[in-house]
Chain A
Amino acid sequence: MSFLDVLEGLRFKKASSPIHKLDPRVKFALALSLSTLALAFKELLALIALFTAHVPLILLGGVIRQWARMMKGASLFAFFIFLTNFLFIHFHPGYAALSPTFVLPISMALRFLTIVGAFSCFFLTTSPDDLGLALERHLVPFTKWLIERVPRLKGAIDPYGLCFAFIASVRFIPTMVEEATSIVDAQRARGLELDRGGLLKRIRGYVPILIPMVINALRRSDELAEAMESRAWGAVKERTSLYELRLKKGDAIVMALTALAFAIAVYVRISIPIPL
């Protein structure tokens, strides 16, 4: 399992599942709600419930394999979160009295996995095009509203540029994964061993991988900017879209259910004590 495999857990693949068909804004609201609640709760029971809540979405979306890869990669970070929390709690008598030693570290690791899982589901089932449309749909009116109130921001914020930068970064994930694979191969072919030696040597081993990746990313962004400008990017102040996002009945139902579940969870958080 490498870092590159983990990135596969963010790569959109076209499909026609019910989750893929949902409006990107609804999916974002779902992911955001789950993440917010994961941050709001620290009780293990609640976090198990939150983590379990997004699994049906993964199954419905048919992206279990990619999601599992992401989870496998994220579990390493989750382990570090667990370890750090465990060590602090274990060696700090005040904290140890507050919570059984293992429960809180497990909760913190699960919190991280819930947030990663929710957003992995979002990126795996949302096309960059839909994401761009959703961003533009909301960022452009918001920028206008902001400029009306703070006139000196005029010219300082380019909402289309911001949307494009975000979408381009999402869209280039597959290219970067491919490129990183090739860079790793090229350095291995020159005798670089990434999986041998002490921790410091292994970290140093990544320098020949990271430098070409950064340089290539900078070079590509430069070329992309030139290509966009030569195709008259920014010539039109107000852009229109060929496709427009419209909330359908199914979207409204999912959105209402998400809001309801979120409200119940907030009520539980405030009013009902959870045992663990």
Chain B
Amino acid sequence: MIEAKGVYFRYPNGVEALRDATIRIDDGELVAIMGPNGAGKTTLVKHFNGLLKPTKGEVFVDGVNTKEVSIASLARKVGYVFQNPDHQLFCESVEEEVAFALRNFGFDEAEVERRVTWVLEFFELTPYKRKSPFTLSVGERKRVTIASIIAWNPKVIILDEPTLGQDYFQKEKLRDFILRLRKRGGTVVLVTHDVEFVSELKPRIVLMADGRVMADGPAESILTDRAILKEASIFPPQIAQVFLELVNVGLPKGVINVEDAKGALLRLLRSMRS
């Protein structure tokens, strides 16, 4: 469980990125943190694995105050996939890249090999395993970075803009992976602007603006609340927009994805026939 209590954070250049941010994420939850640029999303999640320590307030991971433990020990529990893959890659080959963190955490070589094989297979990176990560496309590089974090199976996974540079099928695969992680009891925290991606996952949504948590609730209610979304400079998903426009003709309000829209339309059609 992650708990941030009244967190304030000021960068050395004087910018106050978090102002009294309070949030609690329980085990097994899927949470999407959304908001405009500069809202403090990345600053907040960097507190979850101790990369940043609050200027005021406290952050607890499984009851442990992040000020009292090292980043390495928190990183074992909380995996963080950075937004830009080029800020992470440095090894000669993809498999070495994935093995880097495993070796840092002291896994034995047999286990390292087993995990590397599994994760490369899962992310369809096996054909590239001996290639230099620098020769891959942006989308492939992003997959390598995700794979390199997933490899040590952290309890919590933070994905910062995971869909950036990913094509439709890779997004689908990522979505499928997130859902599988959840089924296994894993906690996933997404930092994203991609409302369409989020709407299909239907997570709990935390909206941030000006370093504060301005709304927190289920995707169906947050992504259909135009007033709140406008304040956070976010547009509802396209399906939600259609349904919101047609509320007057009897369509329900809380519909945000294809599956829900299909169900709602079928119900409407059936009721019209009968």
Residue contact B88 to A191, C-beta cutoff 8 Å:
no
Whether a CB of chain A sits under 8 angstroms from the CB of B126 is no
**A215/B134 contact (C-beta < 8 A), A185-B82, A191-B72 known:** yes
Contact string against B for A residues 185-218, beta-carbon threshold 8 Å, 1 for contact and 0 otherwise? 1111111110000000000000110011001100
Residue contact B88 to A212, C-beta cutoff 8 Å:
yes
A192 to B82, CA, bound (A): 15
Contacts of A187 in B (CB 8 A): 88
In this complex, which of B79, B84, B87, B89 has the most chain A Cβ atoms within 10 angstroms of its Cβ?
A: B87
A26 to B138, CA, bound (A): 46
**A190/B86 contact (C-beta < 8 A), A5-B12, A208-B100 known:** no
A208 to B46, CA, bound (A): 20
Whether a CB of chain A sits under 8 angstroms from the CB of B90 is yes
By size class, the interface of chain A is 20 to 34
Whether a CB of chain A sits under 8 angstroms from the CB of B66 is no
Contact string against A for B residues 178-215, beta-carbon threshold 8 Å, 1 for contact and 0 otherwise? 00000000000000000000000000000000000000
**What's the nearest-Cβ distance from chain B to residue A56, in Å?**
25
Residue contact A190 to B148, C-beta cutoff 8 Å:
yes
Whether a CB of chain A sits under 8 angstroms from the CB of B125 is no
**What's the nearest-Cβ distance from chain B to residue A221, in Å?**
14
Residue contact B104 to A191, C-beta cutoff 8 Å:
yes
In this complex, which of A5, A183, A216 has the most chain B Cβ atoms within 10 angstroms of its Cβ?
A: A183
- Quick one: closest A residue to B13, CB to CB? A8
Contacts of A189 in B (CB 8 A): 49, 51, 71, 75, 79-80, 82, 149
Residue contact A207 to B49, C-beta cutoff 8 Å:
no
- Quick one: closest A residue to B79, CB to CB? A189
**A185/B104 contact (C-beta < 8 A), A190-B148, A191-B76, A193-B70 known:** no
Instruction: A188-B51, A190-B101 are known; give 9 further A-B pairs, CB within 8 A.
Output: A8-B12, A182-B82, A188-B71, A191-B104, A193-B71, A212-B89, A215-B86, A215-B90, A219-B86
Supply 28 A–B pairs (Cβ within 8 Å), ascending by A: A8-B12, A179-B87, A182-B82, A182-B84, A185-B82, A185-B87, A186-B80, A186-B88, A187-B88, A188-B71, A188-B75, A189-B49, A189-B51, A189-B75, A189-B80, A189-B82, A189-B149, A190-B88, A191-B72, A191-B75, A191-B101, A191-B104, A191-B105, A192-B104, A193-B72, A208-B100, A216-B86, A216-B87
